[in-house]
Amino acid sequence: MKANKKIIILAVVIGLITVFGLNYYLTVYTESSPAAARQVEMVPVVVAQSTIPQHTRITAEMVTMENLPEDAVHPEALRNVNDAVGGISRSDIVRGEQVLTSRVATEEMRASLSYRIPESMRAISIPVGEVSGVSGFISPGDRVDVLVTYNYFSEGEVAEGEEAVDRSGMVTTYTTAQNMLVLATGELTQEQDNEERTLVSTVTLLATPQQAEVLSFAHQQGSFHLTLRSPLDEDILDLDYYNIENFETFRER
C-alpha cells in the first residue's frame, strides 16, 4: 500500500514538472519568435475579377476587393475600387491579379495623351505664335475659339446663295470652331499656374473627326488665331464671317 502511494506521488511530481517545463518552453519560444506567434495582418486591395484586356475601359464588374497578407501586397496596388473604375488598362490584367497604378491610365494619373482622348474624339495640333496664341497664356484645360483667315487668290466667282460673289484676293475671317478643349500646349499636357505663361509653337485641341478635317484644311489654306474663353462661358454663338463686304458691321459688333 505504501508502495502505491509512493508511485502516485512520484507520478504527480513528474506531471507537475512536465507541465512546468512545457509552459516554460512555450514562453521562451514565443518571446524569441514573435513573428511566428503574431497573427498575419490582412490588407484589402483591388484585384481583377475577370481578365481585363489591354486598352479596355475598366468597369465595376471587372474588379473586386480582396484581403491579402500585407507581405504579399504590391506597393503600387490600388486600395479602392473607385480608383480603377473608369480608367483604361495599359496592358493585360489577368484574373485575380492585383490592379496596379502603373497599369491603369486615368485623368488624375500621368499618362500618354492618347489615354485622355474620349471615344469618338480626336486630338489635333495647330500652329500658333505669340499673338495668335494669346501671348502664351493658353494652358491645358482651357477652352478656346478658333478663328481662321483665308485669302482667296483664285480668280472667278464664288456662288453664294442665288448670287455670285467675286472674292478674288478677298481676305475673310471665320470663327471656325467654338469652345474647344485645349489638351496640350507644345509638349505640356498639365495645367499651369494662372500667373505663368509659356510661348509655344503649337496648341493641341480636342476635336470631332469633322472638326479635324476643317482644321486640317484651314492649316493648308489659311492662318489661325485663337481667342481664350472664360471657364464659365460655354455659349455657342451664331456667327457668320467678316471681310470687306460687311466691313461696316464693325460698328454693331
Instruction: For the chain, list the domains and their CATH numbers.
Output: 42-113 (3.90.1210.10), 119-251 (no CATH)
Whether residue 44 contacts residue 69, with contact meaning beta carbons closer than 8 Å, is answered with no
| Whole-number Å distance between alpha carbons of 127 and 155 | 28
* Cell 499618362 -> residue: 111
Residue 22, classed as helix, strand or coil, is helix
Whether residue 36 is predicted with pLDDT greater than 60 in this model: the reply is no
Of 115 and 100, which is predicted with more confidence? 100
Average of pLDDT values for 26-31? 62
In this structure, of 36-40, 60-64, 79-83, the range with the lowest mean pLDDT score is 36-40
| Mean per-residue pLDDT of the chain | 83
Residue range 142-170: average pLDDT? 70
- Backbone torsions φ then ψ of 153, nearest 5 degrees: -95, -20
Contact (CB, 8 A) for 137 and 194: no
Q: What is the pTM of this model?
A: 0.62
